[in-house]
Amino acid sequence: MSNELITPENNERVKSFFLSLDRLASAMERLFVSRKPTLNGESFYTDEELSKKLKLSRRSLQDYRNEGRIPYIKLGGKILYRASDIEKLLEEGYRDSWK
Protein backbone atom coordinates (compact mmCIF):
# COMPACT_ATOMS: atom_id res chain seq x y z
CA MET A 1 0.00 0.00 0.00
CA SER A 2 1.48 3.32 -1.03
CA ASN A 3 1.19 6.66 0.66
CA GLU A 4 0.40 8.46 -2.58
CA LEU A 5 -2.11 11.31 -2.31
CA ILE A 6 -5.14 10.67 -4.53
CA THR A 7 -6.27 13.79 -6.40
CA PRO A 8 -8.44 14.41 -9.45
CA GLU A 9 -5.27 15.16 -11.41
CA ASN A 10 -3.76 11.71 -10.88
CA ASN A 11 -6.85 9.46 -10.67
CA GLU A 12 -9.57 9.21 -13.32
CA ARG A 13 -12.16 7.76 -10.90
CA VAL A 14 -11.78 10.72 -8.55
CA LYS A 15 -11.93 13.13 -11.49
CA SER A 16 -15.13 11.45 -12.74
CA PHE A 17 -16.63 11.61 -9.25
CA PHE A 18 -16.02 15.36 -8.95
CA LEU A 19 -17.44 15.98 -12.44
CA SER A 20 -20.57 14.07 -11.45
CA LEU A 21 -20.89 16.17 -8.29
CA ASP A 22 -20.58 19.36 -10.36
CA ARG A 23 -23.32 18.20 -12.75
CA LEU A 24 -25.57 17.25 -9.84
CA ALA A 25 -25.03 20.64 -8.16
CA SER A 26 -25.85 22.45 -11.42
CA ALA A 27 -29.01 20.39 -11.92
CA MET A 28 -30.17 21.05 -8.36
CA GLU A 29 -29.51 24.78 -8.74
CA ARG A 30 -31.62 24.89 -11.92
CA LEU A 31 -34.38 22.98 -10.15
CA PHE A 32 -34.46 25.33 -7.16
CA VAL A 33 -34.38 28.44 -9.33
CA SER A 34 -37.48 27.28 -11.24
CA ARG A 35 -39.29 26.01 -8.12
CA LYS A 36 -42.55 27.77 -7.33
CA PRO A 37 -43.61 28.14 -3.70
CA THR A 38 -46.96 26.60 -2.84
CA LEU A 39 -49.65 27.26 -0.29
CA ASN A 40 -51.79 24.22 0.55
CA GLY A 41 -50.55 22.61 -2.65
CA GLU A 42 -51.54 25.60 -4.81
CA SER A 43 -49.01 27.44 -6.98
CA PHE A 44 -49.24 31.14 -7.71
CA TYR A 45 -47.94 33.41 -10.47
CA THR A 46 -46.95 37.03 -10.11
CA ASP A 47 -48.16 39.40 -12.82
CA GLU A 48 -44.66 39.42 -14.32
CA GLU A 49 -44.49 35.61 -14.48
CA LEU A 50 -48.00 35.30 -15.90
CA SER A 51 -47.46 37.98 -18.52
CA LYS A 52 -44.36 36.12 -19.75
CA LYS A 53 -46.14 32.77 -19.68
CA LEU A 54 -49.19 34.01 -21.61
CA LYS A 55 -47.19 36.44 -23.75
CA LEU A 56 -49.38 39.35 -22.65
CA SER A 57 -48.35 42.75 -21.41
CA ARG A 58 -48.74 43.48 -17.72
CA ARG A 59 -51.11 46.28 -18.75
CA SER A 60 -53.36 43.71 -20.51
CA LEU A 61 -53.43 41.64 -17.32
CA GLN A 62 -54.46 44.76 -15.41
CA ASP A 63 -57.26 45.40 -17.92
CA TYR A 64 -58.43 41.78 -17.54
CA ARG A 65 -58.46 42.20 -13.74
CA ASN A 66 -60.38 45.48 -13.97
CA GLU A 67 -62.95 43.89 -16.32
CA GLY A 68 -63.33 40.86 -14.03
CA ARG A 69 -62.13 38.49 -16.77
CA ILE A 70 -59.29 36.98 -14.76
CA PRO A 71 -59.35 36.00 -11.05
CA TYR A 72 -56.57 37.29 -8.80
CA ILE A 73 -55.55 37.82 -5.20
CA LYS A 74 -54.13 41.06 -3.85
CA LEU A 75 -51.83 40.41 -0.95
CA GLY A 76 -49.98 43.31 0.60
CA GLY A 77 -50.04 45.30 -2.62
CA LYS A 78 -48.81 42.33 -4.67
CA ILE A 79 -51.04 40.72 -7.29
CA LEU A 80 -51.05 36.91 -7.41
CA TYR A 81 -52.86 34.51 -9.72
CA ARG A 82 -53.69 30.91 -8.78
CA ALA A 83 -52.23 28.49 -11.30
CA SER A 84 -55.41 26.38 -11.17
CA ASP A 85 -57.57 29.46 -11.95
CA ILE A 86 -55.43 30.28 -14.97
CA GLU A 87 -55.52 26.68 -16.23
CA LYS A 88 -59.32 26.60 -15.82
CA LEU A 89 -59.66 29.92 -17.65
CA LEU A 90 -57.55 28.66 -20.54
CA GLU A 91 -59.46 25.38 -20.76
CA GLU A 92 -62.82 27.20 -20.82
CA GLY A 93 -61.59 29.48 -23.59
CA TYR A 94 -60.23 26.67 -25.75
CA ARG A 95 -61.84 26.36 -29.19
CA ASP A 96 -61.26 23.63 -31.75
CA SER A 97 -59.91 24.79 -35.09
CA TRP A 98 -62.21 25.22 -38.08
CA LYS A 99 -61.94 22.58 -40.76
Query: Topology of 38-92 in CATH?
Result: Molybdopterin biosynthesis moea protein, domain 2 (3.90.105)
Q: What is the pLDDT of residue 43?
A: 87
- Average pLDDT for residues 27-44, to the nearest whole number? 77
Residue 39 has pLDDT above 70, yes or no: yes
Task: Return d(Cα 11, Cα 8) in angstroms, integer.
Answer: 5
Evaluate if pTM is beyond 0.75.
no
Task: Return d(Cα 35, Cα 93) in angstroms, integer.
Answer: 27
Q: What is the pLDDT of residue 36?
A: 65
**pLDDT tens digit string along 50-85?**
999 999 999 999 999 999 999 999 988 899 999 999
Residue 9 has pLDDT above 60, yes or no: yes
Domain range list for the chain: 1-35, 38-92
24-32 contacts: CB < 8 A, separation 24 or more?
A: none
Residue 3 has pLDDT above 80, yes or no: no
| Mean pLDDT, the chain, whole residue set | 86
